[in-house]
Amino acid sequence: MPEIFDETFPKELTETGSARRRMMLMGGSAIAATAATRLLPESARAAVLGTAEKPIDFLFAIYPNGTLLDFAGPNEILSRIPNTNVRFASPEGGLVTLEKGVVFGPTEKLSDIDKVDVICVPGALNLSAMMKPEILGHVRRLSETARYVTSVCTGSIILAASGVLKGRRSACHWAFLNVLKDYGAIPDPARIVKDGRFMSGGGVTAGIDFGLAIAAELRGAQAAQEVQLLVQYDPQPPFHAGNPAEAPPAIRDVVYKKLPGSQNGLMRPVL
C-alpha cells in the first residue's frame, strides 16, 4: 500500500517499527527487540535517511488498568514525526489489559529496555501495577539517562513516586494534582509543563497538546505542525466544561461529589 501518511515518517523506520511489533507478537520481546535493531544498523539507517541525526527512541511505559487515551493521543502525534521510533513497554511485556478491559500491545518488557531518549508515563486511576519498588526502579533507571522525562495525567504521580521529580514542577490530572506534593514534586495546574528536561501534560486529553509540544521540542515546530494538520487537530468542544474553573457550577459540583477529594486536587489514585 502507498504509505502516504508516512511520508513525514521515513519508510525504513516505519518498517523497522512494524517489523519489531510483528515479531513481538510472535515471540519473546527481548529477542524481537534485538532482531529488530539488527535489521538496520544505526550507521546504515542514518545513511538511508540521508542524515547523520540519530533516530529518537520514544518509549511509552504502559501498564494494566492504564487509560487508553492518555497514550493513544500523544502516540498519534509522535508516531508520525520524522525519524522517531515509538516503542511501548510494560511491567510484564506482551499484551496489556487496560482500564475498561480493552487490550493493547504488543509491549516490550520494561526490565529489558536499556536506554531511551524519551520516557513517557501515561496515567490511570489505578496505578498499582507501576507502584512496586522493582518497577519504579526501572522507571528511575530509564529516567536518569533519558533526554526527556515525561508524563500525561496521573503518570506524573508514578514518576514522582520513583523519586525523579523532587523539586520539579509537574502537571497532573486536576483532580489528583496536589498528590504530587507527597513525593516532593511541585504541582503546576498548567496543561503543559516544562521544567528543564521534564515535560508533562494534564489529564487524559492533555496528552495531545503535550504530544505536539514534545514533538516540537524533539523535531522542531515545522514537523509538529505538519502532524497537527494531518490529524486535523483543530479542537472545537461542543461544551466548555473541560476544567473546574470553566465548567458550569452544576457540572463541577456533581463531579466534585463523585470524585472525593478532587475539589482540592487530593483525590487518591489506587496505589
Q: Name the nearest CA neighbour of 169 among 153, 152, 190.
A: 190
Q: From the CB of 119, what's the least distance to a second copy, in Å?
A: 18
Site for a second copy in 35-54 (CB under 8 A): none
Q: From the CB of 111, what's the least distance to a second copy, in Å?
A: 21
Binding residue (CB under 8 A) for a second copy from 117, 255, 263, 266:
255
Say which DSSP state 268 is in: P
C-alpha cell at 93: 511485556
Residue 172 falls in the annotated catalytic set: no
- Is 200:150 a contact under the CB 8 Å cutoff? yes
Query: CA 99, CA 126: separation in Å to the nearest integer?
Result: 8
Say which DSSP state 232 is in: T
Binding residue (CB under 8 A) for a second copy from 129, 205, 218, 265:
205
Task: By CB under 8 A, tell whether 2 contacts a second copy.
Answer: yes
Q: From the CB of 8, what's the least distance to a second copy, in Å?
A: 6
Q: From the CB of 245, what's the least distance to a second copy, in Å?
A: 9
Q: Which of 153, 165, 180, 223 is catalytic?
A: 153
- Is 265:175 a contact under the CB 8 Å cutoff? yes
- Alpha carbon 48 to its chain centroid, in Å, reads 28
What track of x and - describes contact with a second copy for positions 180 through 199 (by CB under 8 A)? -----------xx-------
Task: By CB under 8 A, tell whether 22 contacts a second copy.
Answer: yes
Window of 47-55, 155-163, 180-188, 247-255 that interacts with a second copy by CB under 8 A: 247-255
Binding residue (CB under 8 A) for a second copy from 7, 53, 144, 182:
7
- Is 109:29 a contact under the CB 8 Å cutoff? yes
Window of 33-41, 109-117, 132-140, 231-239 that interacts with a second copy by CB under 8 A: 231-239
Query: CA 212, CA 218: separation in Å to the nearest integer?
Result: 10
Task: By CB under 8 A, tell whether 120 contacts a second copy.
Answer: no
Query: CA 87, CA 168: separation in Å to the nearest integer?
Result: 26
Q: From the CB of 41, what's the least distance to a second copy, in Å?
A: 21
Binding residue (CB under 8 A) for a second copy from 66, 73, 93, 122:
73
Query: How deeply is 59 buried, as exposed, middle or buried, from its count of CB atoms within 10 A (0-12, 13-18, 19+)?
Result: buried
Query: CA 20, CA 41: separation in Å to the nearest integer?
Result: 14
